[in-house]
Every structure is written in C-alpha cells, then in structure tokens.
Amino acid sequence: MSEEKRLHPISTVINFVKQLKEAVIPLVVLLFLNRRGQETFFDYLPLIGMGIFLLVILVSGILKWWRFTYRLEEGELRIEYGLFVKKKRYIPFERIQSLNYSEGIFHRPLKLVKIKVETAGSSSSLESEAELTAITKEEANYLNSVIAKAKKRIKETNEVLLEEGTERADGFQAEVEPEEKVLYKMTIKDLIIMATTSGGAGVVISGVLIFLSQFNELIPFEAVMNEFVEVIQSGLLLVAIAVFLVLLVAWFIAVILTFIRYAEFTVKLIDNDLVITRGLLEKKQTTIPLNRIQGIRFNQNILREPFNYTSVTIESAGGSVLEKDSNTIRLLPMIRAVEAVPILKQVLPDYQWETDFIGAPKRSIFRYMFWNLLFITIAIVPVSYFFFPAGLFSLLLYPLVIGLSWLQYKSAGYCLSEDQLTVRFRVFDKQTVYMKKKRIQSLELRETIFQRRGKVATLSAVIKSYSTGSVNSVSHLDVEDVEKVMEWYEPEGQRSQRESSQTHNELNLE
C-alpha cells in the first residue's frame, strides 16, 4: 500500500485555464454588454459579474486539487475526488491497457507530465478512465513500472520460471528490465516532405480567410478588391509574384506547425508495447499494447504516391471517444513504403506484408466513371448557369474527375491469405488496410440493382476502432471474388455444414 498523494499544485492553474477556455462564450457576452462607458453602478455589473465568475473558477480549481488524491493499494489504482460529493474510483491493474503521457507548456518547465489511464472499456466512454493532471516524471515512471510488473506477475500466475539460473524466493521469475528498441526516428527531411505534401498550406490559407471574414466591418474588403483589380490590370507578373509569396508564407507556416506537432517523433518497442513520443511545445507519449492492434493502414495521397511515400497508422481497440489519437495512431507519419515494411515486420511478424492484389474487373471502369461524372455534373450545371460565363470554368473539373475515376479503378483490389484480408481502395487518397481474420468485426457483400446487372459487388470489412468501428469498402469487385471472401470469413462449422449440404444436394440430383 502506498500513501495518499496529491497532484502538483500547478494543476490548479491548468484546470483554471481549461475552464476559462470552456467559458469563452459567456465571457465574450459579458464584454459585449460592457462596450459602452461606465456611468452608473449598473454599467459596472458585467465587469463585476466577470470578476465573480473568474474567482469562482479559480476557487473551484483549488478545491478540486485539494480533494483529488490517488494511491496504489491491493493491485488497484485508487482515486478519490469530488467537490461537494466525494467519489471513489478503483481501477485494477489488469484492466489498465496503457498510461499515456503528455507535457504541456505548464508541465515542461517543472519537469511534470499529465497521465491518461486507458483501459479496455474506455472506448465506450467519452473520457479516459482516469487522468492525473500533473505529477513528476519520476512518479509517472514509478506508476508505470509498478503496474507493468503487477500485470506480468498476474499473467505468469504461480508458475516457477527460471531464467539464466536465477530464481526469486517467492517462486516467480526474477524481474529484468524490459528490452527497449528504437524502431523509427523521424528526420528533418521527413518533416519537411510531410508538411509540403500534406495540404497544410491550403489549410493555413483557409484558416486565415475564415479569420478575416469575422472582421467585415473593420476591413474595407471592397477597397482591397478594387486595389487588387488595379494590380491585375497593371500586369500579370505582379499577380504571379503576390500569389507565390502567399503560397511561400503558407508553406512556411505549415512547416512550422508540423515541426511543433511531430518534432522528435520516435517509435520504440518496449517489451510487448509500442511507445510513441512526439511534440516540441507539448511533448506527448502514447503507449499501445500490441494486443490492442486491430489493423494497419497505409495512406498515400496523390502528391506522395508518385514518390512512394506513405503514412502508416494503427487502428487500435480501446481509448476514449474524445481522444482520437488513442484509437487511430500514426505509427510512421512519413516514410517510403519499402522502408516501412521492415519496421512493421519487427512489430507484427505474423502479418503478411507482401501482397498480390486481385483487382476490379475491366467492366467496372464504366461504373467508377459514370457515378463520379453524374455527381460532378449535378454541381457543374447550376454553377455554369448562375455564374455564366465565369461558371464555365467549372467544366475543367471533368478531366480531373475522369482521372480520379481511373485511379479509383486501378487502386481497387483485395488479397486473401489463410488468416488475413488486405483491401485496397481510394476516395482521394489510396488506402491499403491489413486485417487479421480474428480482428474483423463483420464482412458485408452489397449489391445494387445496377451492380447485379454487371455481376459486381461492394465488399465492406469492419474492424474495431473508436466506439463503433472502421469501415473499409472496395467497390465494384467481381461478385464471385466477394463471395469467395465471404466464404473465407464463415466459421469452420458453418462452412462444413454448407459444403455437406451442397454435396448431399448434388448426390440427390444424380
């Protein structure tokens, strides 16, 4: 049994800032009500209300910190908390899947970390099982070590195991430090390529435009547009230079944001866990037990595909709904596909990474083309009509849609082995998903009236991710191929019964 402990006092400041962010709207309303000058006592009421509101948040944060305690006792992490009603939460060590670390701007100067406790049942809730807002790194490592060793002892049960001639007096295997192996470390070159090909510059420009749109009354957009028209009339060279400078600045900002999020990105294999650390301002550490991995996804966008660069993500069971990173985790954010496979073989050696895909039949080309062209036509016709003649430029989308349809057809495919299904498909990005049979939640064959006429069907495989699941669909495959996959997924007993029934029917026909 360990003594009761409290979080670091800085957690009061962290909680205050967090609640302040959540209360932005009422604070803005109070400021709006206080725009005019203060002439009477009632004019000061919004400011007084704001002061009382901030004071309440601060005092409640202090009380919450004082009431929150935790300890390790009888194989459980025991937490007691509650402002007015005292609550207790006991989490057995064997239920704890991982302790995920993060370091914010308040943590790093004081060498503190925030810990989120993830359990097997966290996926059905909106939060992590528990959260320790601010504790020292030494304490975090101690908690992690105690929980890991306890889980190992539970797994070993009462067997007497010998290793290198050493044996513990209580009959358990002598404890050894877990082996740590660095699998991947992201380079500056990878970070720059990732920022350049991720579309981050477009996101930056869009964000700036949305931000500026909130100041219609302050910024004379009409005058700016008139000046812009004059610049265009003065010469296309100036316009080209201006566009280039805007894109250059947006790209530079995207690179900075990528560095802040993915700096020092490292993947380690420690015992049976993957440990991922990343971040410049806020350093995060995520632990993924190998037994929680439901599937592996390769994602290539159109810019990365010609250079064979891809990002590799893990589809993981467990984790909270709001913590998306705990379910779909970037294992290798930017790497060449040929370099990713040797790393994955060290982590998941039972997966088949060399695949020979069976693609969609040639008769499916028309279906990819037809539906994409139909949807884009529905958008182009009204745009061309209402914004004539400028709207006619939307016709340039047709060759782009035809090219995308061709890529979707060429990407579609599946690969089947004894215990693994691999599917490949594309909406805009090409995705390849590796799934073990035992991890697939459900398989579905879908046929529309039009597909039935062409003897094609859509194959959908669902693996557990988040509170529902990750759906991976390949459209317009040969219906016989899809039926073969459905038969592969059938339980052995059901398949034997069906084959026996077919044999019996054939004998009766004879």
Tell me the per-residue pLDDT of 254-273, one tens digit each, with 9 for 90 and over.
Answer: 788 888 888 889 999 988 88
pLDDT band at 330 (very low <50, low <70, confident <90, very high): confident
Closest to 445 measured CA to CA, from 423, 474, 416, 410: 474
Does the predicted TM-score (pTM) go above 0.85? Answer: no
Does 177 or 143 have the greater pLDDT score?
Answer: 143
Q: Mean pLDDT, to the nearest integer, of 486-510? A: 62
Please state the separation of Cα 51 from the chain's center in Å.
Answer: 39
In this structure, of 39-43, 160-164, 297-301, 474-478, the range with the lowest mean pLDDT score is 160-164
Does 244 or 449 have the greater pLDDT score?
Answer: 449
C-alpha to C-alpha distance for 92 and 418, rounded to whole angstroms: 37
pLDDT at residue number 127: 58
Count how many residues are written for the chain: 510
Whole-number average pLDDT of the chain: 79
Tell me the per-residue pLDDT of 157-210, one tens digit each, with 9 for 90 and over.
Answer: 544 444 444 444 444 444 455 678 899 999 888 888 888 877 655 555 555 544
In this structure, of 195-204, 274-283, 304-313, 339-348, the range with the lowest mean pLDDT score is 195-204
Here the tokens at position 246 are: 């805007």
Quick check: 376 pLDDT over 80? Answer: yes
pLDDT at residue number 300: 92
pLDDT at residue number 170: 45
Assess contact for 381 and 325: CB atoms under 8 A: no
Does 25 or 93 have the greater pLDDT score?
Answer: 93
pLDDT band at 236 (very low <50, low <70, confident <90, very high): low
Closest to 125 measured CA to CA, from 482, 488, 466: 466
Q: Buried b / exposed e across 267-303, counting CB within 10 Å, b at 16+? A: bbbeeebbbbbbbeebbbbbbbbeebbbbbbbebeee
Q: Mean pLDDT, to the nearest integer, of 398-416? A: 94
What is the percent of the chain with per-residue pLDDT over 70, rounded to a whole number?
Answer: 74
pLDDT at residue number 211: 46
Which residue carries 């895909």 as its tokens?
A: 357
pLDDT at residue number 320: 47
Q: Mean pLDDT, to the nearest integer, of 394-412? A: 93
Quick check: 312 pLDDT over 90? Answer: yes
Does 161 or 419 have the greater pLDDT score?
Answer: 419
Enumerate residues 6+ apart whose C-beta is below 8 A from 336. 307, 308, 309, 310
Q: Mean pLDDT, to the nearest integer, of 472-484? A: 94
pLDDT at residue number 443: 93
Quick check: 431 pLDDT over 80? Answer: yes
Quick check: 229 pLDDT over 80? Answer: no
Q: CB atoms < 10 A from the CB of 209, how many?
A: 9
Tell me the per-residue pLDDT of 450-462, one tens digit each, with 9 for 90 and over.
Answer: 899 999 999 999 9
- Highest mean pLDDT: which range of 377-381, 384-388, 500-504: 377-381
pLDDT at residue number 1: 53
